[in-house]
Amino acid sequence: MKLKTKKAAAKRFSFTATGKVKFKRVNKRHGLGNKTAARKLKLRSAGILFDGDMKHVEKCLPYGSR
């Protein structure tokens, strides 16, 4: 039986070539005039999930890590 992908997770997470889970940083959509340039610069980089959170995301994305 095929497993279904959770579409909400598919839109938010992706896998790197080594199998880590990558995500886009939040707080970069509006209200940018109040944030410092250094803070906005740090928000550009993608984040890597911790191992405990990775297990949950891998369940939501059964075919993503292969």
Q: What is the pLDDT of residue 3?
A: 95
Matching residue, tokens 């995301």: 57
The type of residue at 5 is T
pLDDT at 66 exceeding the cut of 70: no
Q: Are 5 and 12 in contact (CB under 8 A)?
A: no
- Return the domain boundaries, the chain: 7-60
Read off the pTM: 0.81
Single-letter amino acid, residue 36: T
- Res. 25: pLDDT tops 70: yes
CATH class of 7-60: few secondary structures
For the cut 90, the answer to whether the pLDDT of residue 42 exceeds it is yes
pLDDT at 65: 74
Considering the chain, what percentage of its residues have pLDDT values greater than 90? 95
d(CA 41, CA 7): 29
According to DSSP, residue 19 is labeled S
- How far is Cα of residue 43 from the mean position of the Cα atoms in its chain? 13
